[in-house]
Amino acid sequence: MPNHSQKQKVLEQIKVFNDVDPQIIGALFGLRVLAEAAKNALPTEVGSFKDLEIFLGSKVDPANLANVWGELPQPDNKTIKKIWAVWANDSFLDDSFYFDIFSILTLFLQQGNKKVAWLPEGVIFLIQEFLPKGDKELLLAGEGLLPLLDFAYRKGITAKTIGQLHSIENILGSVLISNYENYSSDFLNIDDAAQWSTIVCVPPFGYKYKNNLETYELADRGQGKRSTRVEAEILWVEKSYRLLAENGSLLIIVSDGFLSNASNNYAREWVSDHFKINTIISLPMSAFRPNTSIKTSLLWLQKMTPPPGEYQIFMAELDDLDIEDTIEVVTAFRTTQREARP
């Protein structure tokens, strides 16, 4: 569970920077963590971006750093010195911060990029609790999944991402996570040969694919002929099945249309024929506002060939994403799991 007191401390520290672009603060925070990860003595004062580039240049690819600087409006040196001074005595990689680095970075970046459908903290908590224990690798596909890299870092497992990330996110991932890699921005282009034990997906809401549908079984909508446009979440479910190893887990956010529209009966039947459905958590309509008010649910599916004939599905509905409500759902889930054991 995230260490809220430490995260709140960081938020309080940046209140004095309300007039600074949040992505600048995010980048400086990321670079501050990089400096600590490099195990170098930190400079007590930083007067400019150039100072930071010189300091970190021997530890991080200078070309990547140059890209970070180029993406950001340039704050004055007084602002940089002030931000660095606030963080000069903090250690963000020790146990007191619970390794919540990527989650904190997300708080900055989401303020500067309102177009990304960032996952709410309550949903991140649910996903982390449902992730199978003992897995050695994690594939994250879609937008807003950055905080889940904290789980990989904390557990010391491999994580790879698919999607457009900020330069500082990729740099931090490479430095802090073993064998980290960011693939192409299109989930459907990933090689099917890869076999993953766990995949977490947030398909683009409302997006429909029009090209390269001929290889997808679900592109025929159960009618025996190819459709010209297919919802992303439907194809992402089939793609995830191809990428998963047997008994592998898929945690995916889908619209309620996927679960309830009569036109999607064929997709739901396909899922029930290829996966064991462990959980269905209905999320509040406010979960992804202001990006969208689409009603969504979190599914935890397990690839099985074939799925068991009879089994229980844990279902819950969240009216709010307060941490107390999500903890209550997780507690109820664990209780049902214990009771189901022979």
Q: Are residues 77 and 100 in the same domain?
A: yes
Residues in the chain: 342
Number of structural domains found in the chain: 2
Same domain, 90 and 156: no
Q: Is the pLDDT of residue 7 over 50?
A: yes
Name the residue with higher pLDDT: 269 or 117.
269
Q: Which of 112, 137, 159 is the last residue of a domain?
A: 112
SS3 75: coil
Predicted local distance difference test score (pLDDT) of residue 285: 84
Nearest Cα residue to 239 out of 282, 192, 287: 192
Same domain, 320 and 194: yes
Which pair of structure tokens corresponds to residue 2?
Answer: 């995230």
Look up residue 279 and give its two tokens: 């959980």
Query: Do residue 194 and residue 96 come from a single domain?
Result: no
Confidence of residue 80 (pLDDT cuts 50, 70, 90): confident
Q: What is the 3-state secondary structure (H, E, C) of 137-175?
A: EEEEEECCCHHHHHHHHHHCCEEEEECCCCHHHHHHHHH
Stretch 313-340: mean pLDDT, rounded? 86
Residue 41 confidence (pLDDT) = 63
> Are 166 and 281 members of one domain?
yes
Range(s) of the domain holding residue 26: 4-112
pLDDT over 70, % of the chain = 83
311 & 198 share domain: yes
**Same domain as 132, residue 79:** no
If one compares 77 and 11, the residue with the highest pLDDT of the two is: 77
**Residues 71 and 181 placed together within one structural domain of the fold:** no
pLDDT tens per residue across span 93-145: 876 665 688 888 887 777 666 666 678 888 888 998 888 888 888 999 987 88
The residue behind tokens 């991140």 is 124
Same domain, residue pair 152 and 206: yes
- Residue with the bigger pLDDT between 89 and 322: it is 322
* Final residue in a domain of this structure, among 112, 130, 161: 112
Res. 238: pLDDT tops 90? yes
Report yes or no: 237 and 187 within 8 Å, Cβ to Cβ.
no
State residue 290's pLDDT score.
65
Residue 233 above 60 pLDDT? yes
pLDDT at 299: 97
Residues 171, 64 contacting (CB under 8 angstroms):
yes
Buried/exposed code over 246-272 (b: 16+ C-beta within 10 A; e: otherwise): eebbbbbbbbeebbeeeebeebbebbe
- On whether both 128 and 218 belong to a single domain, the answer is yes
pLDDT of 2: 46
Residue 1 clears pLDDT 50, i.e. is over it: no
Q: 42-51, 169-178, 225-234: lowest mean pLDDT where?
A: 42-51
Query: HEC profile for 232-271?
Result: HHHHHHHHHHHHEEEEEEEEEEEEHHHHHCHHHHHHHHHH
**The tokens of 311 are what?**
């089994």
Cα-Cα-Cα-Cα torsion 78, 80, 84, 85, nearest 10 degrees, comes to 10
Based on the fold, state whether residues 82 and 126 are members of the same structural domain.
no
Assign 292 to helix, strand or coil: coil
Looking at every residue in the chain, the average pLDDT score rounds to 82
Cis peptide before 75 (omega within 30 of 0): no
Higher confidence at residue 96 or residue 261? 261
Question: What three-state secondary structure class fits 80?
Answer: helix
- Domain shared by 192 and 144, yes or no: yes
- Give 194-228 as a DSSP string: --EEEEEEEPPTT-EE-SS-TT-GGGGTTTTS--S
Region 275-287: mean pLDDT is 91
CATH number of the CATH domain containing 305: 3.40.50.150
The rounded distance, in Å, linking the Cα atoms of 315 and 54 is: 53
High-pLDDT (> 90) share of the chain, %: 27
Q: Report how far residue 93's alpha carbon sits from residue 157's, in angstroms, rounded to the nearest whole number.
A: 17
> Of 86, 112, 138, which residue is a domain's last?
112
Mean pLDDT over 77-97 rounds to 76
Burial class (CB in 10 A: 0-12, 13-18, 19+), 118: buried
